[in-house]
Amino acid sequence: MHKRIFIFLNLLLIFNLALAEPIQKIPELPNFSSLAEKVTPAVVNVSVTKVIKSPAQGDMRRGPFNDPFFDEFFGSPYNPPNRERKVSSGGSGFIISEDGYILTNHHVIEDASEVVISLQDRREFSAEIIGSDEKSDVALLKVQTEEKLPFLNLGDSERVRVGDWVMAIGSPYRLNATVTAGIVSAKARSVPGQTTSYIPFIQSDVAINPGNSGGPLFSLSGEVIGINAMIYSNRGGYMGISFTIPINYVKEIVNQIKDFGIVSRGWLGVSVQEVTKDLADSFGLDIPRGALIGSVLKDSPAEKAGLQNGDVILDFDGQQIIYSGDLPLVVGRISPNKNVNATIFRDGKKVSVPIKIGKLDEKIAQDTTVEKKAEPKNILGIAVKDIASLTDAEKKQIGRNKGVIVTRVLSGPASEAGIRRGDIIDKIQRKNINNINDYKNASKALKKGSTIALRIIRDKNGSFVTLKIPK
């Protein structure tokens, strides 16, 4: 009996001690109200008027409501042919100096004939476009006023960490001074679907919608860390992924606009692709990282420096290249004519290459492929034809006179790798394929069960693909 009482008292004591343990306080979520009150006066609406010509088309009538309100939001199908008309659009922006400099997106004011800035206290100012850069999607505006305007402090986007709380203010769907908040999801992000990007986006889950473009993204200290630029959505509205241009990058653009009126970017002259695990294995690279060169443009800084198709750029100007999208971000921020060093992986070795950076110009190249009758299938599951056997017109059409062109894709490794009819093959395992004999010899040397790298050219852009040879 005494023993039972003793056990009971001990259990009771343990229970009471447990109750006496202090309950840890759960950290409170940030309160954005004070921050919103402080910074909102310097966030503006940007109203844009554009003059466009109506297309020549038949007499189409208004919708059943015959109301300009619906035309404003949904567009009117009726416009007299070849007549000029004014259309309105808008976005957001923010004041960065008391004398009236304002930042917004390029796409907000693109082709504008008139820009009007509206403050939260209902004051309006006509704005001058000081400069605008399409590639960075940054525009600098200026309003003339004797008044000192409220303005925002620009922060340091390099100090932003993944997981930090952030807040946005803008005018989605013309709902002025709308405040939304979230956390930073990633940094130095390339937008999915874009092969080349010169913007190292901050990704967040802050709700951004049409009309938010050009507005600021704030840290909890109230400093601007970026310009809200776009969302990633398959239905036009917010889906939890937003992209912001880092303010440090914006500062560089603004300084160039103020000093020179234009923005100059570095240019290397290569097309690159991701290094997959299979590609890394085929090249003898321990870790699948870097930017794999698919093609080198003629007379480009890359060609002059001796860079080759199949080189993997691991470091550029002292910065590590982890993903292929890192390279244009780094190169674009380097001043033209600057001498830099790149570390590349070639033939199983790391090599340092000196490069003189060029100046980026717009270059658009298009190509069409040639379809011919198929030749017999080989181990890769494709049929090819010697480019040298094509007519001069066909060679001119595809822009090459060496290599082999794919004429049929059957079931097999090539089909699984996404190779298409009309693709040009000019390398197998880094061996040049100049003609059909080179192709046959390289194919015969392929080992069953191995993974090989094959370079194809499609629309004048070169890229490497990996194929698994069946056992």
Q: What are phi and psi of 292, to 5 degrees?
A: -85, 125
* Residue 418 and residue 404 in contact, taking contact as beta carbons nearer than 8 Å: no
Name the amino acid, one letter, at 423. Answer: D
Q: Is 33 a catalytic residue?
A: no
Name the amino acid, one letter, at 218. Answer: F
* Residue 102 and residue 95 in contact, taking contact as beta carbons nearer than 8 Å: yes
* Residue 114 and residue 122 in contact, taking contact as beta carbons nearer than 8 Å: no
* Residue 412 and residue 382 in contact, taking contact as beta carbons nearer than 8 Å: yes
Q: What are phi and psi of 327, to 5 degrees?
A: -65, -55
Measured distance CA(266)–CA(122) in Å, rounded:
42
Q: How many CB atoms lie within 10 A of CB 402?
A: 15
Q: Is 411 a catalytic residue?
A: no
Kindly report the CA angle at 354 between 349 and 355, in degrees rounded to 5? 120
Name the amino acid, one letter, at 202. Answer: I
Measured distance CA(388)–CA(403) in Å, rounded:
8
Q: Is 107 a catalytic residue?
A: yes
Sign of the dihedral through C-alpha 275, 276, 277, 279? negative
Q: Considering the candidates 107, 205, 233, 317, report the single residue annotated as catalytic.
A: 107
Q: Considering the candidates 213, 219, 242, 324, report the single residue annotated as catalytic.
A: 213
Pairing assessment for the beta strands 124-133 and 138-143 based on DSSP bridges: antiparallel
Measured distance CA(226)–CA(242) in Å, rounded:
12
Pairing assessment for the beta strands 178-189 and 201-204 based on DSSP bridges: antiparallel
* Residue 410 and residue 383 in contact, taking contact as beta carbons nearer than 8 Å: yes
Measured distance CA(186)–CA(192) in Å, rounded:
13
The two structure tokens encoding residue 187: 């940094």
Name the amino acid, one letter, at 400. Answer: R
Q: Considering the candidates 133, 137, 278, 423, report the single residue annotated as catalytic.
A: 137
Q: Which residues, in sequence order, are bridge partners of residue 147?
A: none
**H or E element: which one contains 95?**
strand 84-95
Nearest to 152 by CA among 201, 215, 244: 215
The two structure tokens encoding residue 181: 């908040």
Active site residues: 107, 137, 213
